[in-house]
Amino acid sequence: MEERKVKLEMELDRDSFQSTCFLLGLKLTDEMWEKMIEEPVKLGFEEMGGNVVKSKMTFAALAISKVLRDMEKNSGNKLQDLLDGMTR
């Protein structure tokens, strides 16, 4: 059986890239920006370097937090009630 995985989606605006390029000592050109927005940029954890486990856990925690907040909004339950239900 194929392992199912969660897909995460994030959007960043040009200002975010402009600031990052500045910090890296790069210039964000129009050509570079057009290439960035041409199609989704797929990142694997190997491109992130550093501690892969820590990176994966950070994104997983952010995804769990978002899903729990959405569940709370849609059900009217308190977040603590949801967390209590998960530990039973």
Domain total for the chain? 1
pLDDT at position 61, please? 94
Structural domain boundaries, residue 20: 14-86
Calculate the CA 86 to chain-centre distance: 23
Measured N-to-C along each axis, helices 79-86 and 52-75 cross at an angle, to the nearest 10 degrees, of 120
18 found inside a domain:
yes
52 found inside a domain:
yes
The C-alpha torsion from 40 through 42 and 47 to 53, rounded to 10°, is 130
pLDDT at position 47, please? 80
Tens place of pLDDT per residue across the chain (88 aa): 789 999 999 999 999 999 999 999 999 999 999 999 999 998 888 787 778 888 899 999 999 999 988 888 877 666 666 666 665 5
**33: number of Cβ within 10 Å:** 14
Q: Which two tokens stand for residue 13?
A: 């605006």
pLDDT at position 86, please? 62
40 found inside a domain:
yes
Is residue 36 a contact partner of residue 14, using CB atoms and an 8 Å limit? no
7 found inside a domain:
no
27 found inside a domain:
yes
9 found inside a domain:
no
